[in-house]
Amino acid sequence: MRRVSGGFFQMVSESACPTCNGMGEVIANPCSHCRGEGRVQETEDISIKIPAGVAEGQYLNLRGEGNCGPRGGACGDLLAVIAEKPDDFYTREGDDLHCEIKVPVHKLVLGGTQRIPTLDGGEVQIKIAAGTQAGSILRLREQGLYPLNKRGDRGSLYVNIGVEIPKDLSREEKELYQKLAELRHDKETAQEESFLEKMKNLFK
């Protein structure tokens, strides 16, 4: 304890003893490993349970898994901060998931079904309506992430529809595509001219 006086004021400050560090006793012959603290620094791998719905930046408080206090003091807590590992297929937005799939051209034109993987390790079959455009987004309810500790409704899975352009066409397939191009020529030409006319009117 230190007392300081000056004029009309008096201040008292307290600090731990520099010799015993506030422990009240001094070890004459401290251990060469712990240097009298009764603890040594070690690294240990532990397994922790990750609750459903936990997100980037949140943390888990593991009681008693932190550093131990000196001379038999209680152990502190370990704070495990969550960092999400990027996935090659899914991206996360809250409890919702987003993914993109490539659908063959004929399915987009004529309609059909497409199987996609789910977060549970299974798969679900989605319906592709005839005339579906690339960039369309389909929503699958209850196929996203569970909320934290499963308190509430499960999120959705949003499927962004892309188009798969075939590269390994056989001779017969190329002939069919050529025939289709000829059949569609007049309609596509009319659509092209209509688009160009609209763009020209924008600059008048």
Identify whether the C-beta of residue 97 lies closer than 8 Å to the C-beta of residue 141: no
Report which residue type is found at 71. R
Say whether both 77 and 177 belong to one domain: no
The parent domain of residue 67 ranges over 51-85
* DSSP state for residue 135 in the 8-state scheme: T
Per-residue confidence (pLDDT) for residue 10, from 0 to 100: 61
Per-residue confidence (pLDDT) for residue 138, from 0 to 100: 95
Per-residue confidence (pLDDT) for residue 150, from 0 to 100: 77
Per-residue confidence (pLDDT) for residue 197, from 0 to 100: 74
Say whether both 197 and 125 belong to one domain: yes
Per-residue confidence (pLDDT) for residue 191, from 0 to 100: 74
Gap between the Cα atoms of 204 and 201, Å rounded: 5
Say whether both 64 and 99 belong to one domain: no
Per-residue pLDDT of the chain (204 residues; tens, 9 = 90+): 555 555 555 666 666 666 666 566 666 666 766 665 656 677 778 888 888 888 888 888 888 877 777 766 778 888 889 988 899 999 999 999 999 999 999 999 999 999 999 888 889 999 999 999 999 999 999 999 988 877 788 999 999 999 999 888 899 999 998 998 888 777 777 777 776 777 777 776
- Asked whether residue 9 is domain-assigned, the answer is no
- Asked whether residue 38 is domain-assigned, the answer is no
85, 104, 138: which is the final residue of a domain? 85
Say whether both 96 and 162 belong to one domain: yes
Say whether both 80 and 100 belong to one domain: no
Handedness of CA 70, 72, 73, 74 (dihedral sign): positive
pTM of the model: 0.68
Per-residue confidence (pLDDT) for residue 50, from 0 to 100: 86
Neighbours of 55 (CB within 10 A): 12
Say whether both 118 and 178 belong to one domain: yes
Which parts of the chain fold into alpha helices (H)? 105-110, 171-202
